[in-house]
């Protein structure tokens, strides 16, 4: 059974109850809208297969969600991520979850258990090197990067503006970014501050 602990205070990034909209680069210090997505290869998934960015070449939009098992914010948003993939499944949109934390609750065995318990309908990948999260500028869990067909960044940040209460969401940033991209437009909001538990990067 996966143990659900509250995030240690030092690892939890508190912010106001909504995601603050900002100029590109204010929160993600590595990637900005329009940047080419870094390549990644051979990440093991909970299906025990190797996954690479090139494997998803048929998707018009990729939604990379940097997440983990233990973070309360990540746990609170799992159903919304599942619903997102379900709603866009027929529109060539692919969600890919990636975990880079290496604590006991976030190991591959517990990731597999989480997939079974929640019925994830998207790949859940593990990168113990943490390279993919560094390359994509992920700060917290969950942190999202949306890529277009050309694999350029169109959005980074929060899923929406209220992780605590799905019924009180006013702005659905990731969905808006997906819809704009599918329509050949640039999203009106390209970066927000993601809220969650700080990724446990090793020095």
Per DSSP bridges, beta strands 124-126 and 43-45 are antiparallel
What pLDDT score was predicted for residue 15? 38
Instruction: Examine residue 3 and state whether it is found in any structural domain, yes or no.
Output: no
What pLDDT score was predicted for residue 171? 97
DSSP per residue, 127-196: -TT-HHHHHTT--EESEEEEE-TT-BEEEEE-SSS-SS-GGG----HHHHHHHHHHTT---S--BB---E
Instruction: Examine residue 4 and state whether it is found in any structural domain, yes or no.
Output: no
Q: How many domains does the chain have?
A: 1
The CATH number of whichever domain residue 27 belongs to comes to 3.40.30.10
For residue range 60-116, list pLDDT tens digits in order: 999 999 999 999 999 999 999 999 999 999 999 999 999 999 988 999 999 999 999
pLDDT band, residue 133 (cuts 50/70/90): very high
DSSP 100: -
**Cβ count near 102 (within 10 Å):** 16
Confirm if 68 and 98 have CB atoms less than 8 A apart.
no
pLDDT band, residue 157 (cuts 50/70/90): very high
Instruction: Examine residue 122 and state whether it is found in any structural domain, yes or no.
Output: yes
pLDDT, the chain, mean: 90
Please determine, for residue 165, whether its predicted confidence score (pLDDT) is greater than 70. Answer: yes
Please determine, for residue 28, whether its predicted confidence score (pLDDT) is greater than 90. Answer: yes
Confirm if 19 and 160 have CB atoms less than 8 A apart.
yes
What pLDDT score was predicted for residue 11? 43
What pLDDT score was predicted for residue 12? 43
Please determine, for residue 14, whether its predicted confidence score (pLDDT) is greater than 60. Answer: no
- Sign of the torsion angle spanned by Cα atoms 45, 50, 52, 58: negative
pLDDT band, residue 203 (cuts 50/70/90): confident
The torsion angles phi and psi of 21, rounded to 5 degrees, stand at -75, 140
Instruction: Examine residue 203 and state whether it is found in any structural domain, yes or no.
Output: no
Burial 60-80 (b: 16+ CB within 10 A, else e): bbbbbbbbbbbbbbbbebbeb
What pLDDT score was predicted for residue 9? 42
Please list the residues that pair with 143 across neighbouring strands.
Answer: 66
Which candidate, 181, 134, 173, places its Cα nearest to that of 22?
173
What pLDDT score was predicted for residue 26? 80
What pLDDT score was predicted for residue 93? 98
Instruction: Examine residue 183 and state whether it is found in any structural domain, yes or no.
Output: yes
Residues 120-138, mean pLDDT to the nearest whole number: 98
Print the domain residue range for 125. Answer: 9-198
Report angle CA 28, 88, 133 to the nearest 5 degrees.
Answer: 25
- What is the Cα–Cα distance from 173 to 107, expressed in whole angstroms? 29
- Sign of the torsion angle spanned by Cα atoms 67, 83, 28, 10: negative
Residues 36-43, mean pLDDT to the nearest whole number: 97
What is the percent of the chain with per-residue pLDDT over 90, rounded to a whole number? 85
Instruction: Examine residue 132 and state whether it is found in any structural domain, yes or no.
Output: yes
Confirm if 44 and 108 have CB atoms less than 8 A apart.
yes
Please determine, for residue 2, whether its predicted confidence score (pLDDT) is greater than 50. Answer: no
Whole-Å CA distances, 134 to 99, 137, 139: 12, 5, 9
Instruction: Examine residue 1 and state whether it is found in any structural domain, yes or no.
Output: no
Residues 130-150, mean pLDDT to the nearest whole number: 98
């Amino acid at each position: 059974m996966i143990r659900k602990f509250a995030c240690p205070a030092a690892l939890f990034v508190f912010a106001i109850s909504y995601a603050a909209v900002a100029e590109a680069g204010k929160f993600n210090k590595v990637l900005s809208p329009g940047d080419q997505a870094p390549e990644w290869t051979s990440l093991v998934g909970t299906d025990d297969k190797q996954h690479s960015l090139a494997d998803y070449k048929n998707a018009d939009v990729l939604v990379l969600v940097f997440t983990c098992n233990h973070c309360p914010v990540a746990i609170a948003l799992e159903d919304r991520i599942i619903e997102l993939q379900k709603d866009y499944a027929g529109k060539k949109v692919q969600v890919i979850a990636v975990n880079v934390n290496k604590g006991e609750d976030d190991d591959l065995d517990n990731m597999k258990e989480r997939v079974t318990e929640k019925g994830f309908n998207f790949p859940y990948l593990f990168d113990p090197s943490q390279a993919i999260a560094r390359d994509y500028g992920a700060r917290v869990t969950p942190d999202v990067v949306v890529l277009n067909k050309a694999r350029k960044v169109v959005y980074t940040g929060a899923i929406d503006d209220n992780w605590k209460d799905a019924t009180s969401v006013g702005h659905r940033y990731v969905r808006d970014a997906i819809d704009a991209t599918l329509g050949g437009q640039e999203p009106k909001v390209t970066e927000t501050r993601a809220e969650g538990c700080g990724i446990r990067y090793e020095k």
